[in-house]
Copies of this chain bind each other. A is one copy, B any other.
Amino acid sequence: MCEQCGTIHYQNPKMVIGSIPLWNEDEPKVLLCRRAIEPRHGYWTLPAGFMENNETTAQAAERETLEEAGARIELLPLFSLLNVPHVHQVHLFYRAKLLDLAFAAGIESLEVRLFAEHEIPWDEIAFPTVSHTLKFFFADLAASRDGGNFGFHSLDITKSMRLPD
């Protein structure tokens, strides 16, 4: 509904696109951002945001990773698709290779840092789409050491799966 005049416009689900930037020297680590904005201010997330017109899903992932984490990545195949129907969103995450360590928090982030799997602040992850994607990712990363491949993961998030505030 137009807030100015009250006319109802048809709304479709929005796409949220992000990346899983992996730094893989010595111990594998993933880049997370601590949110400087609501919702979930102060909680940790993978770099991600709303896809915009005139860009592709891959371009959206690279743009959001640069904007939120100041990070340059080489994008790898799509890794997860998560439906969040109660908020009219579909989240996509691409695997990515972090190209250097010259990352820095953008204006929507309080801080940005690398986490090994055992360091992930599971109780302080902003969104269930991010925590599920990270769990899928570290499981596939472990399997890849035994000769397995990274898969593609799809999951529907229902209200009851939301983390407590």
Residues of A with Cβ closer than 8 Å to B? 2-5, 7, 9, 11-15, 50-59, 77-78, 81, 83, 85-86, 88, 90, 152, 154, 156
> Is there contact, CB below 8 Å, between B3 and A78?
no
Work out how many copies of this chain go into the complex. 2
The distance from the CB of A63 to the nearest CB of chain B, in whole angstroms, is 13
A56 to B87, CA, bound (A): 11
- What is the minimal beta-carbon distance from A105 to any residue of chain B, in angstroms? 24
Q: How far is the CB of A94 from chain B (nearest CB, A)?
A: 10
Q: A2: which B residues are within 8 A, CB to CB?
A: 2, 4-5, 7, 9
Q: Chain B nearest CB: distance from A149 CB in Å?
A: 11
Q: Which B residues lie within 8 Å of A4 (CB)? A: 2, 5, 7
B152 A53 Cβ-Cβ under 8 A: no
A54 and B88 CA atoms in complex are apart in Å by 6
Query: Given the complex of chains A and B, what is the CA–CA distance between A77 and B152 in angstroms?
Result: 10
**Cβ of A152 and Cβ of B83 under 8 Å apart?**
no
In the complex, chain B residues whose CB is within 8 Å of the CB of A81: 57, 78
Most chain B CB within 10 A, of A5, A11, A12, A86, is at A12
**A3–chain B nearest beta-carbon distance, Å:** 7
Select from chain B the residue with minimum beta-carbon distance to A94.
Answer: B154
Some 26 contacts from A to B, beta carbons below 8 A apart, are A2-B7, A3-B7, A4-B7, A5-B5, A5-B7, A12-B14, A12-B50, A12-B51, A13-B15, A13-B51, A13-B52, A13-B53, A15-B90, A51-B90, A53-B85, A53-B88, A54-B86, A55-B85, A56-B83, A56-B85, A57-B81, A77-B154, A78-B81, A78-B152, A78-B154, A152-B152
